[in-house]
Amino acid sequence: MSRTWVWVVPGAGVVTGGLGAWLLGRAWRDCDIGINAAANSLPLALVFLGLTAVAALWWWLALSRLGAAGPAGAVLGSLLLVWGVLAWLHAPAEYPAPLCPPGNVPPWWPELLPL
């Protein structure tokens, strides 16, 4: 791995963590999950930190071990990480989310990707 990638790995981790926390926060807001935005901020901060760490590790492994396919594998892995976090935490199935259809899937979520 070249010196150029030294700045890409933490930056990509922060972008992945930010994207995951933003999408999760938007899903919670649109489905009226939780008490309010202030009460949801701590769990979202923890999701951001955890996802940032895991994504940075994934980018480092992908760029150092996959050779020419490293960037594509790193981006695909980041998208899968974000999707996995959303599928896991978007809303408990038994949570009464009156603003979302059955299954507590936000209306803006693409139907092709299951949550």
| CA separation for the pair 81, 22 (Å, rounded) | 14
3-state secondary structure the chain: CCCCHHHHHHHHHHHHHHHHHHHHHHHHHHCCCCCCHHHHHHHHHHHHHHHHHHHHHHHHHHHHHCHHHHHHHHHHHHHHHHHHHHHHHCCCCCCCCCCCCCCCCCCCCCCCCCC
pLDDT digits 0-9 by tens, 55-81: 999 988 888 887 788 888 889 999 999
For residue 45, the model assigns a pLDDT of 92
Higher-confidence position of 10 and 36: 10
Portion of the chain with pLDDT greater than 90, in percent: 30
pLDDT digits 0-9 by tens, 26-42: 888 888 877 776 778 88
Q: How many of the other CB atoms lie within 10 Å of CB of 74?
A: 23
pLDDT digits 0-9 by tens, 39-52: 788 889 999 999 99
